[in-house]
Amino acid sequence: MPSSRASDQPQQHDHAPEQPGQPAQAQVPERDLSAELAKMEDRFKRAVADLDNYRKRAARDIERLSDERSDRVLLDWLEVVDALDRAMAQTPDGPLREGLQAVVEQVEAILARQGIRRIGQPGEPFDPSRHEAVEVRETDEAPARSVIAVLRSGFARGDRMLRPAQVVVAREPQPQT
């Protein structure tokens, strides 16, 4: 009885006969493989560049967030510096003033180690990016647009302003009419 199994039927192949040394897969022109390889390499290079950009952006974001958190803590401590400055202004010479001065110097040393510096000194030119003018006084004792008094020190960390100085700014006297 004849068998109806597929193994008894002669096999037919839809592809070209095997070449010696070639795999038994369908033959793909070499130029198609080269083009596909070039596309894959391009996609790989773009993915690597995207990953590198993501890493850099994430590092910048982390550094910015860390700086912002640190700045908030430092701004809280600047209130202590302000209180010490007010106490120094109200305290006459004597042992209490010497003790306050020692604390002020210690706090300023700590701030300096954190890269914080005071902004605003009498005599320097008014700079709206560093100073907040809270008063303008007419005077001929100081150049116009210069700081004549600092009401509250400002502070900066590197090139970033933590808080501008509150200052009194000189203005030329207006002629009496």
More confident residue, 157 or 17: 157
pLDDT at 162: 94
What beta strand segments (E) does 39-126 contain? Answer: 116-119
pLDDT confidence of 21, banded at 50, 70, 90?
A: low
3-state secondary structure of 177: coil
Averaged pLDDT for residues 18-36: 68
pLDDT above 80 (res 4): no
DSSP string of 82-101, one letter each residue: HHHHHHHHHPPSSHHHHHHH
pLDDT at 140: 87
3-state secondary structure of 53: helix
pLDDT at 113: 92
Distances (CA, A) of 84 to 73, 88, 108, 113: 17, 6, 11, 19
What is the per-residue pLDDT across 58-79, written as a single tens digit (0 to 9) for each?
Answer: 999 999 999 889 889 989 989 9
- Work out the end-to-end distance of the chain between its first and last CA atoms, rounded to an integer number of angstroms: 134
What beta strand segments (E) does 4-153 contain? Answer: 116-119, 131-138, 147-152
Distance, CA of 137 to chain centre: 38
pLDDT at 174: 85
| Beta-carbon count within 10 A of 81 CB | 19
What is the per-residue pLDDT across 101-147, written as a single tens digit (0 to 9) for each?
Answer: 999 999 999 999 989 999 999 999 999 999 999 999 999 899 999 99
